[in-house]
Amino acid sequence: MEITLQTFGAKLRVKDGLFEVTVPDLSGANHHVVEQFAAHQVKTILLQKGTSVSADALLLALENDTEILVLDPLGHPTGRFWTLRPSTTIAVWKNQLAISLTPEATHIAREWIEAKIRERLQYLHKLKGYRQGDKRARIEQAESSITDLLSRLHAASAPPAKLPDVIRGHEGTTSRIYLDTLGYLLPDDYHYEGRSRRPAMDMFNAFLNYGYGILYGIVERALLLAGVHPYIGFFHDDGHKRRSMVFDFIEPFRIWVEKTVFQLFAAKAPGNQHLQPAPNSPGGLWLNESGIRLLKDALHLRLRQKKKEFNGRRFPLESYVAEEAKRFAARLLHWGKQPEAPVREQAFV
């Protein structure tokens, strides 16, 4: 069970040994909503700006190994409470840091990048089924080039210090071909001349950038809850306040944003009314409130309704990220450990 405090003035307290949440009636009618939850059933507590939690509630959460995250207004984790008792999280962090200093880190990151490229190839193949003429030919050309680059990326071999740059080169080329192909397939009303980030220089990039931002928050939260440190990366450059592992781990999931944004543009839903000029950036564009709402609604609908299989079960996409993060944490935790040999049965006569 998850408790999320996001309404301004919402409070989390302890009463009779239970978590008690009070959500105020902001209309002034004093119809406050009060709910209680058994501590052992609450796995996660999420706190946003404008809410409060008592020290008693924090202590009760820590006693029950409940994860407590503080989120910024965009829903991105900015802090975490945890008990000082020894836990698997410390073991995960130690192994995560140790792996980050070995060639294995690059190989793990390559797995995620290859998964991203395969997802993109599948999407291009799907789009090809609805196109004819020049557009179909453009997709086929992209598929051929990306498939070749994927094979070269998978087989890439170089000294450990140089291999990341070789992988980045192949990955960067596949991304350019893929996104340029999506841009070519956009309706004629839209303009796209290549990838632009800070800031976006066109509407398509503005929607992609904000969508990726939403996904960063979802991925970081999943990693934190699984016990993985978001700042200890394997592939992307480390730096001050740089969430390198988030940038690594997000790769296979970027396709969800790309599908959402492309479908919005295919339906001609976005328009100039969804944009505003980026400050101090001539020609740069940001989404305004209506653009953010349009994208958020579409993306969260996909994350809730679309499902993906994990260990024989089908999970909504956001839950699937959480399951993948747990699997990665387990991989880190057991790194370097040899599985025990099976005990051979012996017959006594």
**Distance separating alpha carbons of residues 249 and 108, to the nearest angstrom:** 10
Q: Is 29 in a helix, a strand, or coil?
A: coil
Residue ranges of the chain assigned to CATH 1.20.120.920: 92-333
Q: Identify the band that residue 239 occupies on the pLDDT scale cut at 50, 70 and 90.
A: low
Quote the percentage of the chain above a pLDDT of 90.
65
Q: What is the pTM of this model?
A: 0.81
Superfamily classification of domain 92-333: CRISPR-associated endonuclease Cas1, C-terminal domain (1.20.120.920)
What are 257-310's pLDDT values in tens digits? Answer: 999 999 999 999 999 999 999 888 888 999 999 999 999 999 999 999 999 988
Q: What average pLDDT score do residues 81-91 get?
A: 78
pLDDT of residue 240: 58
Q: What average pLDDT score do residues 46-54 get?
A: 89
pLDDT tops 70 at residue 139: yes
Task: Provide the Cα torsion 80, 83, 88, 93; round to 10°.
Answer: 50
Residue ranges of the chain assigned to CATH 3.100.10.20: 2-85
Question: Residues 211, 299: contact at Cβ < 8 Å?
Answer: yes
Question: Residues 112, 248: contact at Cβ < 8 Å?
Answer: yes
CATH class of 2-85: alpha beta
pLDDT of residue 347: 36
Q: Identify the band that residue 343 occupies on the pLDDT scale cut at 50, 70 and 90.
A: very low
pLDDT of residue 105: 95
Q: Identify the band that residue 349 occupies on the pLDDT scale cut at 50, 70 and 90.
A: very low
Q: Identify the band that residue 75 occupies on the pLDDT scale cut at 50, 70 and 90.
A: low
